[in-house]
């Protein structure tokens, strides 16, 4: 698409003021190559972030409590068919104690993440959610994959506040290629159920997936805007040698930052993490994402003895640092970008409904 300089200014102005960009305009921005042009896009996203959510960066404490997974996503290192993974499940008491410890450090949200592990039934999840809520004043985010409406409902009633379920890609044919044993419609059903149950919902996608085009990425931006997602997690695809996609190239930092910027422009006041994946492909990837629209970080509080086995992609950031180290490091990284640290639970700003 040819767009004149004057057209570029107009598009950036629209991005700044309303974010109401057409697919064509999103594709145009995602295709920018010139360094000065890209810089203007990222700065526009930073300005939208400043105006819509301010300078606070929220810290979420991530606990990866089980790496058992029934699914076979073709990019993911902990997929069921990878025999080289040493599998673990944290005992329920230890999950609750770990969460209590994280909250004692001043962190207002616990993110409970796992593979799709049927052992953690809705009843067991309720026990964990209630146990944490009884001991600690915090919000709870679940990231445990696809469940039935009734299971989501039971966990919401037990006190879960938010749910992360990345849509992975908004393009049906690409989704089906990457998840031969799963259904695109079922994923959408889950996201809709979570919304209707009153969860603050996090969608999100990977950037630079095999076969993914710029047009496909524009669909992801339109998708999170239409869903009115409260949170949007965006990270580069990183090939894992133990998976069918192990030989494909990784997504780039440049393309990931453009996607974070467009997610900010499109969602306005969304909660956007500077993901571990973007920190894993560049030593300052998270800081760069914070300057391109992100306003959340999720340091890893999984006890070290388990953490090494939660390898969804290789060279994952912070795999060997102990949680205390990550805590200080993350705060220093936020402050280095000139931002402030958010206090309290950091609920969705869209959720004041
Ligand atoms: N590279 C990057 N991100 C990945 N995820 C899973 N595997 C990979 C990989 N190889 C992401 C998925 C998932 C989230 C928890 O991690 O988007 O939803
Ligand atoms: Fe873990 Fe920096 S956030 S060591």
Q: pLDDT tens across 222-234, in order?
A: 999 999 999 999 9
What is the rounded CA–CA span in Å between residue 140 and residue 228? 20
Whole-prediction pTM = 0.96
What is the rounded CA–CA span in Å between residue 266 and residue 272? 12
3-state secondary structure at position 293: coil
What is the rounded CA–CA span in Å between residue 186 and residue 202? 16
Ligand 2 pocket residue status of 304, Cβ below 6 Å: no
pLDDT score recorded for residue 2: 59
Q: Where are the domains of the chain?
A: 5-344
Contact 186, 148 (CB under 8 A): no
What is the rounded CA–CA span in Å between residue 284 and residue 275? 11
Other Cβ atoms less than 10 A from the Cβ of 22: the count is 12
Handedness of CA 165, 169, 173, 179 (dihedral sign): negative
Span 8-15, average pLDDT:
96
The 8-class DSSP code of residue 312 comes to: S
pLDDT score recorded for residue 33: 96
CATH classification code of 5-344: 3.20.20.70
Please report which confidence band the pLDDT of residue 353 belongs to, taking 50, 70 and 90 as the band edges: very low
Q: What rounded mean pLDDT belongs to the chain?
A: 95
Residues 262-310: pLDDT tens digits? Answer: 999 999 999 999 999 999 999 999 999 999 999 999 999 999 999 999 9
Measure the CA angle with vertex 289, ends 232 and 293; round to 5°. 60
- Among 321, 322, 331, the mutation site with the greatest number of ligand 2 atoms within 8 A of its Cβ is 321
The 8-class DSSP code of residue 115 comes to: S
Residues 165-205: pLDDT tens digits? Answer: 999 999 999 999 999 889 999 999 999 999 999 999 999 99
- Among 328, 329, 335, 337, the mutation site with the greatest number of ligand 2 atoms within 8 A of its Cβ is 329
Of 61, 23, 260, 74, the residue nearest 143 (C-alpha): 61
pLDDT score recorded for residue 47: 98
Residues 77-130: pLDDT tens digits? Answer: 999 999 999 999 999 999 999 999 999 999 999 999 999 999 999 999 999 999
């Amino acid at each position: 698409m040819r767009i004149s300089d004057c057209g570029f200014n107009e598009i950036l102005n629209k991005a700044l003021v309303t974010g109401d960009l057409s697919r064509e305009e999103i594709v145009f921005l995602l295709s920018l190559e010139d360094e000065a042009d890209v810089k203007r896009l990222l700065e526009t996203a930073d300005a939208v972030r400043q105006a819509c959510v301010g300078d606070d960066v929220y810290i979420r404490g991530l606990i990866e409590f089980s790496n058992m997974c029934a699914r076979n996503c073709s990019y993911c290192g902990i997929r069921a068919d990878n025999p080289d993974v040493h599998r673990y499940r944290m005992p329920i008491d230890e999950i609750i104690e770990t969460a209590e410890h994280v909250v004692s450090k001043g962190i207002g949200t616990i993110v409970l993440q796992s593979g799709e592990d049927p052992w953690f039934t809705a009843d067991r999840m309720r026990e964990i959610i209630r146990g944490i809520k009884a001991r600690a004043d915090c919000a709870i985010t679940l990231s445990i994959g696809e469940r039935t409406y009734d299971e989501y409902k039971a966990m919401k009633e037990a006190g879960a506040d938010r749910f992360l379920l990345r849509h992975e890609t908004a393009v049906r044919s690409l989704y089906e290629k990457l998840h031969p044993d799963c259904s695109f419609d079922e994923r959408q059903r889950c996201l809709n159920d979570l919304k209707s149950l009153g969860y603050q919902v996090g969608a999100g996608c990977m950037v630079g997936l095999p076969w993914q085009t710029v047009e496909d990425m524009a669909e992801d931006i339109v998708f999170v805007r239409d869903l009115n997602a409260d949170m949007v997690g965006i990270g580069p695809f990183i090939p894992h040698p133990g998976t069918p996609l192990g030989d494909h190239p990784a997504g780039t930092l440049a393309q990931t930052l453009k996607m974070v910027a467009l997610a900010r422009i499109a969602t306005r006041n969304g909660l956007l993490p500077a993901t571990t994946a973007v920190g894993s492909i560049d030593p300052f990837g998270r800081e760069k994402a914070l300057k391109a629209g992100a306003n959340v970080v999720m340091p890893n509080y999984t006890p070290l003895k388990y953490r090494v086995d939660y390898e969804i992609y290789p060279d994952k950031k912070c795999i060997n640092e102990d949680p205390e180290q990550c805590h200080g490091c993350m705060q220093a990284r936020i402050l280095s970008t000139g931002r402030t640290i958010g206090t309290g639970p950091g609920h969705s700003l869209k959720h004041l409904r």
